[in-house]
Structure formats: structure tokens, C-alpha cells
Amino acid sequence: KQIFNEALQKGTMEGFFRLISYFQTQSEPAFCGLASLSMVLNSLSIDPGRKWKGPWRWFDESMLECCEPLEKMKDKGISFGKVVCLAHSSGAKVEAFRTNQSTIDDFRKNVMKCSTSDNFHMISTYHRGVFKQTGTGHFSPIGGYNAERDMVLILDVARFKYPPHWVPLKLLWDAMDSIDQSTGRRRGFMLISRPHREPGLLYTLSCKDESWNSIAKYLKEDVPRLVSSQHVDTIER
């Protein structure tokens, strides 16, 4: 309570109140990524574009499968990259960073950014073992920051295991700076906010099937560049 009150007085709990209104428990042991994302999307009031139940338009874990089959995620979980894909194709703006693409100082600045505004939320993926918790890779939203103590509040979506808890920012960075054995890549964090425009179909296709990546890149980047050039006829070749 003391850590929370200190952060509240300093204005670094601004994102907490929206997030806590949509705090949920993951419905399956491997659904931490889906639960974290649906919680953040709902807190940002992003329209899922379809009904959940009855007349209600609401994000639920079961609706987040455009980038990976739900049954596969139920069995194997989901990777950092696929959560980024889901967030983007669900209508959010996403800035994603693995630890080898950022620094602890940049991470701290981004935590501060999310903690002093309710327009941005952060999801972190980390290895529980660094916290001496049971389990391995995990996703959860960041609910706040105490700058004086340099501690972050993790809103753990596995509420059947752990309640929300404060951890030193350096320790969270160390937990993120680990290798996901399923992909061979480092973990990290993502900032999620409302977009200025809807995600494109090509982006969703490129996430869903990696074979689309080169085609999507050509259509999104190369064709517009060719059209804007003086030699438009080269497109036909």
C-alpha cells in the first residue's frame, strides 16, 4: 500500500485505474498473452469490430485467433511476435521491443510514459524464474511505477497463482532479457495505444502466414515506390 500511495502521489499510476477496471484472470494456463492483450484492448476502448455475446462488443480471449489457431495457443501458448501481430490486427497501435532492441534506460522511459498517461499501456513478457516464481515464460500488463524506489507493478493475469505485485525495474528487465526457447529469441515489452487508422489486411495476412511477408512487403513498400517514380512502366516488367 505504501509503494502504491507513493506512486499515486507522484502521478505515476495514471494507467492503473483503466487497467484494473478490466483486470481478468487467464482462462487457460497458456492464455497469459491473450488475457493480457484483451485486458489492454478493452481498457483502451478499442472496438473489436464484432459482437462478443448479445449486443456487446468486447474483447475476449476466444476472439484473438487471427494470427494463430486458438487450440494451438491453448496447447503451446503464444510468442512475443504473435501477440504483437494480434494487437495490431485487432486495431491497436503497437511499439514492440525485444531487450536486444532496447536498453534498460529506454525501458524505464517507456514505463514512465505508460504510467503517467492512460492513453498507453504496456505488456511485458518475462521469465518467472528470475522472480523465484513457479513457471517459465509469462505475459502480464504493467500497472504502475514508483520512480523513487524504481519499482513496477505487475498486474499478473494468472491470478490463481499470484496477486498484483511490485518488483524492482532492474529485476523485471533481467527477467525479460532471457531467451524464449520456443523461438530462440529474446523476450521484451510492447506499448499499446489507440491507432490513427485501422490495420491493413496485408499486415494481418503477413502475420498469419509468414510466407506472405515478402509479398506484403512488395505490395506495401515496393509498388508505391515504383508508382511514384518517373518510370511507371517498370511495374509491368
Catalytic residues: 32, 138, 156
Q: Answer for the pair 180, 79: CB distance below 8 angstroms, yes or no.
A: yes
Amino acid at 235: I
Q: Cα–Cα distance between 149 and 168 in angstroms, integer?
A: 8
Q: Cα–Cα distance between 180 and 185 in angstroms, integer?
A: 6
Task: Return contacts of 63-72, CB within 8 angstroms, 24+ apart.
Answer: 63/38, 64/34, 64/37, 64/38, 64/90, 66/90, 66/204, 66/207, 66/208, 67/204, 67/207, 67/208
Q: Answer for the pair 123, 83: CB distance below 8 angstroms, yes or no.
A: yes
Q: Answer for the pair 101, 188: CB distance below 8 angstroms, yes or no.
A: yes
Q: What is the DSSP string of 48-64?
A: -SS-SBTTB----GGG-
Q: Answer for the pair 66, 152: CB distance below 8 angstroms, yes or no.
A: no
The residue with cell 494451438 is 72
Q: Cα–Cα distance between 19 and 17 in angstroms, integer?
A: 5
